[in-house]
Structure 1
Amino acid sequence: MRIIAARFNHETNTFSPVKTLLESFAPLYGEEALAFGTGSATAFGAFVDHALAQDADLITPLCATADPSGPAPRDAFEALAAPIIAAVRDGCDAILLDLHGAMVAEGIDDCEGALLARLREAAPDVPIGVALDLHGNVTERMIANCDCIAGFKTYPHIDMRATGDHVLRMMDKILSGAPKPNMAMVHAPILAQTLKMNTEVAGIMTDLIAMAREAEAQDGVEAVTVFGGFPLSDIADAGVSVVVVAQSAVMARAVAGDLAAAAWRGREGFVYHEEPLKASLARARSAAEAPGNGPVLMLDHGDNCMSGGTCDTVGVLQGALAAGMAGIVAGPICDPEVVAQMTRAGEGNAVTVELGNKVPLPGFAPTRPLALSGTVSFARPGRYVVSGPIYTGQTCDMGRAAVLEVEGATVLVTERPHEPWDLGVFACAGVDPVAARYLILKSRMYCRPVFEPLSRAVVECASAGITSSNLGLFDFQKVVRPVYPLDPEMEWAPPGK
């Protein structure tokens, strides 16, 4: 059996000024893609290991992932789609794809739908199975051009490989001669805030995931996924959707409609109400005085790397220092100029820098960098291996990194925007984040599996950044209106209800 497995991931923040280039995807082809996938804690890894276990003729034309950022150039999308399409045209028995579901390129608002349509045209009768991110903005074009879809059920995403296994179970049935299943999607007009999709706390998303698992236990239902969507991707199909794979088309539509109706009834639960930064700082100070171990984890979610943030805003750090807070560890803050300056100064030497606030944010008033004087304690390459549970074993590269010791704070500065996946972010630079009194991270969710258990409290800090949780700050042009909560008085019911 000839199986094609590929990974092609990008979550696009259409408001982000962070450029997405071909090299941003760090594409791997052929044997290098296979090596990455083997044993990987991703859906692609599940595909690769399953095919190898079957002694299949496995083709891995592409493994490419870019951190969330602005729309990709059209030619980058075409260059990365081409090897997958070429491999399919050479002939195959099955196609397994690890995609995101919210990728936008210049002139293509639905990259996944465009790729799947081309693959379906190239191989009309070959089964196509797709794993998607929980934040996918799923479209009818995606549904029409594949045979089964399953998406993550956790956020933070710790079930990427399990989702690949789910796709494989459905594909194995198809390949063994069972009738192809039916798929149905119902799109609920809700722009859900990502901070309200946390599946590790009680809330509407947790309730819907429980309903999805319950529905999957029914005879004839093979997969039920509640996609929260990615609200900062301004396309027509942005928002919440429910996708059901079932033996019966009637059952698929019924289950999708029921869950979409439940999402609509609980729509207020998808709205995140920010508190002013001053209030968050006061809560952090109170938490630091309370009994407990570890730092107060302060999440700068307005400038979140994994939602397309620049990682160079300094409002939370500046506010904390101005409030007299001390014992701070902050970072990574992306400022290549400051990294270069600190590297030239050298470890152990004094330096004065103008940190951050250098990337203009569309729609936001410009702000000045933060002047800091201190000592360089580290200036070397910032590389580490993730210990888990997300991307376990993967080597991460922050570019050159530098640590600045100032009165009240230790600040990690990097050449590249980088999500704090792991303690290794700081440990590779000689910093112990757990020893801090306050730990300021540019993250919404992905840091939590590692850092939250080590912290005495978590305080979400709103900052003026391109990943703000206040959707009212963004000029939406393409999303279909009315949509909640931008149009709070709207009414809606799923088809047939």
Structure 2
Amino acid sequence: MKLLIARMNHETNTFSPVATPLEAFGRHGPSYGEAAWRENKGMQTAMAAFIDAAEREHAQIVTPVSASANPSGPVAAAAYDAICNAIVNAAAGCDAVLLDLHGAMVAENSNDGEGDLLARVRAVLPNAPIAVALDLHGNVTQKMIDHADVIVSFKTYPHVDMYETGAHAARLLFDLIHRRARPVIAWRQPPLLTHTLRSATAEGAMKRAVDAARAAEAEGMLAVSVLSGFSLADIAAPCISVVVVGDGDRAAADAVAQRIAQQIWDERDDFFYRSAPLADSVAQAAKLAHGADKPVLLLDHGDNCMSGGTCDTMDLLEEVLKQGLEGVVSGPLCDPEAVAAMHAAGAGATVTLAVGNKLASEAVKPQRPLTVTGVIHALTDGEYTISGPTYTGQRAFMGRAAVLDIGAATLVVTERTHEPWDLGVFESVGVDPRRARFLLLKSRMYCRPVFVPIAAALVECDSRGVTSSDYGLFRFEHVERPVYPLDAGTEWKA
């Protein structure tokens, strides 16, 4: 048995000005062939689970490409074509396909990145089973449903079950191949734009929806996925979805999809997040720090790296300094110009720099950079190994990094946008985050498994960046209307 296994991951924020060329998909671009296999083998990715399952089947494995980029603006057409062509060109002669996809990719030449890829693979292999693992924030489309035999998404956010999701999808694929099961897919998509901060699976309506999905699996469905969608993609339906894989009985699968989707719609208000004014959030953090022996986390989810943020919005840092907070550690802030200037000046030098607010977008009005004076404490290549629990063991690349001490705050500045997955973001540049009084992170959720345990408290801060929870900042032109909450009177029945 010859299996095609590949990875193509990108969550596209169509409002983000951060470019997504081919080189964004890895340290210097995607990995191909044997390098793609090595990049995933032993890791916690869905593709790693595919490889392990295929090896247990003693299959011949073809790994044409592994391509994963941080969320950012629309994928360059040349990049999208290069990745898709690598997969499609390797498909001929394969008996089955396992794809590790995100589900919310938008390219310059495709509003349905995954659906268009699956259609091309299906055209080459009209009779081969295709199984797909998706991120919980995938935007499901009819084309994805039409051209896949198995679809399974993550059930956790923060995401810690990537490998388990891949193992689940692979198990169903081999059950299909060996005729132990007959997967059929049903789905529902309420017209509901969810806020990412309301897609955490440990609480609220999202937890109840995922609990319902797990219960349906326990009652006989092969797989039930609740995908909250990624609403900062201006496409037809960046909405929440329920995807059910049944065993031969499409009507039964459809009934489960209908029931869970109706439950979600009935609780739609619980998927809406209301932000506090930024000044109030900072004042709250100052109060929480009194008497605390651990840092207070301020999460700048309005400029969240893993939703396409520029990581150079200075709103939160400026407000923190305005209110007189000290003992601040902030980062990673993305500013290649500032990093270049500090590397040129050298460690120990005192410099005056304009930092941040340099990437303008149509959604958010540009601001002036923040001018700061400080001492350069460290200069590094910005590389470290993630200790977990997310993407454990993978090598992380921030681009070159520099540490600037401006007195009240220590700034970690990098050449690339980078999610604070790990304490290594700071420890790799000689900064101990545990000793901060206030820790400002360009993050929404992924930082929490690592940083919440070392913190005294957490405050969510909504700066006016391109990942803000304020939908009023964004001009949605392609979303099908009516849709909730943009249209308060939206009606729907599963």
Residue 44 (structure 1) shift: 0.3
Could you tell me how far apart the structure 2 residues matched to 1:337 and 1:29 are?
Answer: 31
Q: Which residue of 1 aligns with 2:431?
A: 431
Residue 179 (structure 1) shift: 5.2
Could you tell me how far apart the structure 1 residues matched to 2:141 and 2:325 are?
Answer: 47
Residue 434 (structure 1) shift: 1.0
| 1:186 paired residue among 178, 185, 188 | 188
TM-score if structure 1 supplies the norm length?
A: 0.97
Could you tell me how far apart the structure 1 residues matched to 2:123 and 2:487 are?
Answer: 39
Do the aligned residues in 1 keep the contact of 2:53 with 2:171 (CA within 8 Å)?
no
Q: Which runs of structure 2 are paired with 1:438-477 in the superposition (5 Å)?
A: 438-477=438-477
Q: Which residue of 2 aligns with 1:215?
A: 216
Could you tell me how far apart the structure 1 residues matched to 2:348 and 2:194 are?
Answer: 47
Could you tell me how far apart the structure 2 residues matched to 1:70 and 1:100 are?
Answer: 15
Q: Which residue of 2 aligns with 1:153?
A: 155
Q: Which residue of 2 aligns with 1:67?
A: 70
* Aligned AA (2:107): A
Q: Deviations over 1:241-299 (max 9, x none)?
A: 10000021001110001111011011001111000011001110111015x44200000
Q: Which residue of 2 aligns with 1:13?
A: 13
SS across alignment from 1:312: coil
Q: Which residue of 1 aligns with 2:271?
A: 270
Q: Deviations over 1:82-120 (max 9, x none)?
A: 12111111x112100000100011131101110111111
Q: Which residue of 2 aligns with 1:234?
A: 234
Runs of 4+ in 1 over 6 A off after TM superposition: none
Q: Number of paired residues?
A: 490
Could you tell me how far apart the structure 2 residues matched to 1:301 and 1:406 are?
Answer: 24
| 1:101 paired residue among 92, 100, 103 | 103
Could you tell me how far apart the structure 2 residues matched to 1:82 and 1:277 are?
Answer: 45
Q: Which residue of 2 aligns with 1:39?
A: 42
Q: Deviations over 1:152-201 (max 9, x none)?
A: 0001100000000110121121111245311011011100000111113x
SS across alignment from 2:222: strand
Q: Which residue of 1 aligns with 2:281?
A: 280
Are positions 1:123 and 2:131 aligned together?
Answer: no
* Aligned AA (1:493): K
Do the aligned residues in 1 keep the contact of 2:137 with 2:229 (CA within 8 Å)?
yes
Q: Which residue of 1 aligns with 2:251?
A: 250
Mark the runs of 5 or more structure 1 residues left unpaired by the alignment.
Answer: none
SS across alignment from 1:257: helix
Residue 310 (structure 1) shift: 0.6
Do the aligned residues in 2 keep the contact of 1:230 with 1:238 (CA within 8 Å)?
yes
Could you tell me how far apart the structure 1 residues matched to 2:403 and 2:165 are?
Answer: 38
Q: Which residue of 2 aligns with 1:412?
A: 412
Mark the runs of 5 or more structure 2 residues left unpaired by the alignment.
Answer: none
SS across alignment from 2:491: coil
Do the aligned residues in 2 keep the contact of 1:304 with 1:443 (CA within 8 Å)?
yes
Could you tell me how far apart the structure 2 residues matched to 1:463 and 1:228 are?
Answer: 23
Do the aligned residues in 2 keep the contact of 1:189 with 1:482 (CA within 8 Å)?
yes
Do the aligned residues in 1 keep the contact of 2:172 with 2:181 (CA within 8 Å)?
no
* Aligned AA (2:9): N
Could you tell me how far apart the structure 1 residues matched to 2:22 and 2:181 are?
Answer: 39
* Aligned AA (1:84): I
| 1:53 paired residue among 52, 56, 59 | 56
Residue 75 (structure 1) shift: 2.2
Do the aligned residues in 2 keep the contact of 1:10 with 1:67 (CA within 8 Å)?
yes
* Aligned AA (2:77): R
Do the aligned residues in 1 keep the contact of 2:326 with 2:437 (CA within 8 Å)?
yes
SS across alignment from 1:332: strand
Could you tell me how far apart the structure 1 residues matched to 2:108 and 2:364 are?
Answer: 23
Could you tell me how far apart the structure 2 residues matched to 1:165 and 1:184 are?
Answer: 21
Q: Which residue of 1 aligns with 2:83?
A: 80
Are positions 1:172 and 2:171 aligned together?
Answer: no
Do the aligned residues in 2 keep the contact of 1:33 with 1:61 (CA within 8 Å)?
yes
Q: Which residue of 2 aligns with 1:142?
A: 144
Q: Which residue of 2 aligns with 1:398?
A: 398
Do the aligned residues in 2 keep the contact of 1:361 with 1:465 (CA within 8 Å)?
no
CA root-mean-square deviation: 1.0
Structure 1 vs Structure 2: percent identity of aligned residues? 52
Q: Deviations over 1:194-244 (max 9, x none)?
A: 0111113x211011000100011113x100000100000111121101000
Residue 371 (structure 1) shift: 1.1
Do the aligned residues in 2 keep the contact of 1:147 with 1:180 (CA within 8 Å)?
no
SS across alignment from 1:254: helix
* Aligned AA (1:71): P
Are positions 1:198 and 2:200 aligned together?
Answer: yes
Could you tell me how far apart the structure 1 residues matched to 2:70 and 2:149 are?
Answer: 28
SS across alignment from 2:144: helix
SS across alignment from 1:399: coil
Q: Which runs of structure 2 are paired with 1:298-317 in the superposition (5 Å)?
A: 298-317=298-317
Do the aligned residues in 2 keep the contact of 1:140 with 1:185 (CA within 8 Å)?
no
Could you tell me how far apart the structure 2 residues matched to 1:236 and 1:62 are?
Answer: 29
Residue 36 (structure 1) shift: 1.0
SS across alignment from 2:400: strand
Residue 55 (structure 1) shift: 2.2
Q: Deviations over 1:330-368 (max 9, x none)?
A: 001011111111112211111111110011121322211
Do the aligned residues in 2 keep the contact of 1:137 with 1:227 (CA within 8 Å)?
yes
TM-score if structure 2 supplies the norm length?
A: 0.98
SS across alignment from 1:80: helix
Do the aligned residues in 1 keep the contact of 2:151 with 2:245 (CA within 8 Å)?
yes
Could you tell me how far apart the structure 2 residues matched to 1:368 and 1:75 are?
Answer: 33
* Aligned AA (1:377): H
SS across alignment from 1:88: coil
SS across alignment from 2:13: coil
Q: Which residue of 2 aligns with 1:162?
A: 164
